[in-house]
Copies of this chain bind each other. A is one copy, B any other.
């Protein structure tokens, strides 16, 4: 069941069925999506019913880390259980001449597998760093690290990035031939997540602290 090398493992449950030509199974594509997005939608089953919650995460190599409070009901339900972690980047709105062929440009990753609790303190520390660095590169080294009490209060789950698939749509609308002369504007509206100017906690200025705000380059994905 272990994925070897540069490819994700393609199984019955991760085969891209719908528009299969959009499927990607190389780790490079999947990792690029994982690293660029900020949040994952994590699916788990409670009493036979689906639940989906948005969560932050971090990646170290072929491991994805989730975390939350030890009392977090959802994380507890996901521990040693099958989860589905879906991460989506929306790149554009695709406006076709026909309503039917409207679409969106996107890059998404779907990972499935068993989420296991991380008990090793050193791995937990690395996971915390990865999760904070995922928000802003280098931030893990700047912020005050988690102390033992904070670490005890935090449940960390690891999911192997192993069984899954990516899916990518790019490019313009694909209309039917008989619609091509319709005088309805067709094309793509690109979308991007753009950071605004950093808003410093006013309390820091009152205290006369001089740490500098994150440079724009660090914020670009």
- In the complex, chain A residues 113-129 whose Cβ is within 8 Å of any chain B Cβ: 128-129
- A66 within 8 Å of B (CB atoms): no
- A2 within 8 Å of B (CB atoms): no
- A96 within 8 Å of B (CB atoms): yes
- A181 within 8 Å of B (CB atoms): yes
Which residues of chain B have C-beta atoms less than 8 A from A98's C-beta? 143-144, 146, 150
Given contacts A43-B51, A193-B193, A196-B191, contact A140 B184 (CB under 8 A): no
- A44 within 8 Å of B (CB atoms): yes
Which residues of chain B have C-beta atoms less than 8 A from A104's C-beta? 38-39, 56, 135
Interface size class of A (residues with CB under 8 A): 35 or more
- A159 within 8 Å of B (CB atoms): no
Residues B49 and A179 in contact, CB atoms below 8 Å apart: no
Stoichiometry, as copies per complex, reads 2
* Contact residue among B53, B84, B207, B214 (Cβ-Cβ distance under 8 Å from A86): B53
- In the complex, chain A residues 82-109 whose Cβ is within 8 Å of any chain B Cβ: 82-86, 88, 90, 93, 95-100, 102, 104, 106, 108
Give the residue among A185, A194, A198 with the most B Cβ atoms within 10 A.
A185
Residues A213 and B201 in contact, CB atoms below 8 Å apart: no
Distance in angstroms from A144 CB to nearest chain B CB is 4
Residues B39 and A90 in contact, CB atoms below 8 Å apart: yes
- Give the docked Cα–Cα distance between A185 and B210 (Å): 8
Residues A52 and B52 in contact, CB atoms below 8 Å apart: yes
Which 3 residue pairs are nearest across A and B when measured between Cβ atoms?
Answer: A41-B41, A43-B50, A190-B196
Sample of 19 more A-B contacts, CB < 8 Å, known A95-B214, A99-B128? A13-B46, A18-B73, A41-B41, A43-B52, A49-B84, A50-B52, A54-B108, A98-B146, A99-B132, A136-B189, A142-B185, A173-B201, A181-B207, A183-B210, A185-B198, A187-B213, A189-B219, A191-B194, A192-B194
Subset of 9 A-B contacts with CB under 8 Å: A41-B41, A41-B43, A41-B88, A51-B112, A144-B182, A183-B210, A188-B198, A189-B195, A193-B194
